[in-house]
Amino acid sequence: MLDVLIVGGGPAGSVAAAVLARAGARVRIVDRAVFPRDKLCGDTVNPGTLATLSRLGLARAIDACGLPVEGMCLTGANGATVEGRYPHGQIGRALLRRHFDWMLLQDAVAAGAQFESGVAVRRPLVEAERVAGVRAGGRGWECDMRARVTIAADGRHSTLAFGLGLARHPARPRRWAVGAYVEAAGQSTSSQTLGEMHVRPGRYIGIAPVPGGLTNVCVVKPWRPGDRAFGDPREMLRRELARDPLLRDRFAGARAAGPTVVLGPLAVDVRPCTIEGLLLAGDAAGFVDPMTGDGLCFAVRGAELAAQAALAALEHGWHGVHDSLAYQRRAVFAGKWRFNRTVRALVASPQALSVAAAGARVAPAVLRRAIAYAGDCHQ
Ligand SMILES: Cc1cc2nc3c(=O)[nH]c(=O)nc-3n(C[C@H](O)[C@H](O)[C@H](O)COP(=O)(O)OP(=O)(O)OC[C@H]3O[C@@H](n4cnc5c(N)ncnc54)[C@H](O)[C@@H]3O)c2cc1C
């Protein structure tokens, strides 16, 4: 029997698989997609994520092909602009998620993990109140896949976490993301090596130049019942850029370089898992909002913690494994969760945003520190 079955070959699944395979576990990743595959994302990998990947020996290819991101440029509706470079020369990278995820998956396979694509997990196999694997299928077939440990790394809309009643979409925030690659976008007035976040009342726009002369553009905004704009996402994205005084000229001549993707509702609340046989990693363990551009940091570091929990369960049994994982996640992430909540509250309130913008003009150092913190930089 397999030691560990990992559902999802995104960054969380691949990192968990690499850690487990190197420790000698028999690991298989399954994913319903055929790789390399696209994934809607801002495409920036912050310095903290890169540091974790470097420590795990998984960053070489990413460093070689991603564009450098030396910090962030934030703008507000009233024209306030703050640029902050990451401290001590730390950098992040910008690259297409189809390439980032594919590199990590190949690293996991090189470490000894098996990988099967085109396998859609339908539901968990629950036996005697523990998860014993999954029911999965592909074109014209369906079967049970059993393992001593199952790791749900199947993303924001996790079949396993929702299927077991661990996850739900909260009533608030109720934001959706619309994103696309465009070509022939004009250059930013700030440095080309800064990621961009343009915060406007009720919405924000993330922009990142990526390799191949493309620019990644994502708009995140609330969706309300009857809102028809989401019915034509390409037009919605075009209109958001065209109505923005800071961005309209820059994107006037831009052309879509692929489909426009819509995703939502973004926020998913997930209860800590206490079911034997199952561990959660990445967005499957909870996701709120991509505002701070650090989802990959949670995914990568959380996957490493989940892999260590899986090794403990394989060696000593399940007693205390979930408690210990929950404790470690809190120890590593609690400060960041609080920070992200504060940033989201600022974005949701026009008054708070104006106060923050005014404060940033008087004391930009505070915002620069926040940019470093959002980037998970080592101070
Ligand atoms: C608009 C937007 C912008 C973002 N921008 C950034 C950013 O710039 N920087 C950053 O760090 N983070 C960003 N994030 C967050 C980041 O994208 C996620 O945190 C990250 O992708 C989580 O990785 P994961 O491995 O948990 O899940 P995913 O990357 O979603 O991978 C999950 C995998 O599971 C597979 N899967 C799903 N269901 C099944 C099933 N039933 N059976 C088999 N396989 C299945 C999928 O095919 C997929 O390959 C952004 C998110 C959004 C929505």
Question: Does the Cβ of 152 fall within 6 Å of ligand 1?
Answer: no
Check whether 47 has a pLDDT greater than 70: yes
Res 259: pLDDT:
97
Interacting residues of 202 by C-beta distance below 8 A, sequence separation 6+: 221, 222, 348, 350
Q: pLDDT digits over 229-258, tens only?
A: 888 999 999 999 999 999 999 999 999 999
Q: How far is the CA of 162 from the centre of ligand 1 (A)?
A: 16
| Residue with CA at minimum distance from ligand 1 atom 5 | 42
Q: Is the CB of 196 under 6 A from ligand 1?
A: no
Phi/psi for 92 (5° steps) reads -105, -170
pLDDT over 90 (residue 46): yes
Backbone angles phi, psi at 21, to 5 degrees: -65, -40
The helix (run of H) or strand (run of E) holding residue 142 is strand 141-152
The answer, yes or no, to whether residue 223 has pLDDT greater than 90, is: no
Q: Give the mean pLDDT of 182-187.
A: 92
The atom number, within ligand 1, closest to the CA of 122 reads 41
Query: Of all helices (H) and strands (E), which one includes residue 2?
Result: strand 2-7
Q: Is 286 in the pocket of ligand 1 (CB under 6 A)?
A: no
CA distances to 97, 119, 236, 257 from 233, in Å? 20, 29, 5, 14
In this predicted structure, what is the pLDDT of residue 355?
A: 72
pLDDT tens across 261-288, in order? 999 999 999 999 999 999 999 999 999 8
201 confidence band (pLDDT: 50, 70, 90): confident
Residue 265 in contact with ligand 1 by CB distance below 6 A: no
The reply to whether ligand 1 has any atom less than 6 angstroms from the CB of 12 is yes
Q: How confident is the model at residue 301 (pLDDT cuts 50, 70, 90)?
A: very high
Ligand 1 centre and the CA of 341: distance in Å? 20
The pLDDT assigned to 253 comes to 95
Query: Does 93 score more than 90 pLDDT?
Result: yes
Query: Quick check: 102 and 66 in contact, CB under 8 A?
Result: no
Q: Whose CA is nearest to atom 27 of ligand 1?
A: 155
| Atom 37 of ligand 1: nearest residue by CA position | 154
Ligand 1 close to Cβ of residue 32 (< 6 A)? yes
Write the DSSP string, 161-181. Answer: HHHTT-EE--SS--EEEEEEE
The residue ranking higher by pLDDT, 332 or 361, is 332
Q: How confident is the model at residue 76 (pLDDT cuts 50, 70, 90)?
A: confident
R_g of the chain, CA atoms, integer Å: 21
Ligand 1 atom nearest to CA at 195 = 8
Quick check: 36 pLDDT over 70? yes
Cβ of residue 294 lying under 6 Å from some atom of ligand 1: yes
Residues 6+ apart with CB under 8 A from 215: 181, 182, 183, 185, 207, 208, 209, 254
pLDDT surpasses 70 at 350: no
pLDDT band (50, 70, 90) for residue 342: confident
Query: If you average pLDDT over residues 86-108, what whole number do you get?
Result: 96
pLDDT category, 82, cuts 50, 70, 90? Answer: confident
Kindly report the average pLDDT of the chain as a whole number.
Answer: 93
CA of residue 156 to ligand 1 center, whole Å: 6
User: E strand or H helix at 308, and its extent?
Assistant: helix 295-316
Q: So what's the pLDDT on residue 363? A: 78
Task: For residue 259, give the nearest of 239, 240, 237, 274 by alpha carbon.
Answer: 237
- Looking at residue 137, its pLDDT comes to 96
| Residue 80 pLDDT grade (very low, low, confident, very high; cuts 50, 70, 90) | confident
Reported as half-sphere exposure (CB side, CA atoms, 13 A), residue 2 has a value of: 26
pTM, two decimals, is: 0.96
Q: Which of 104-113, 157-166, 188-197, 259-268 has the lowest mean pLDDT?
A: 188-197
- Mean pLDDT (whole number) for 190-195: 82
How far, in Å, is the centroid of ligand 1 from the Cα of 330? Answer: 21
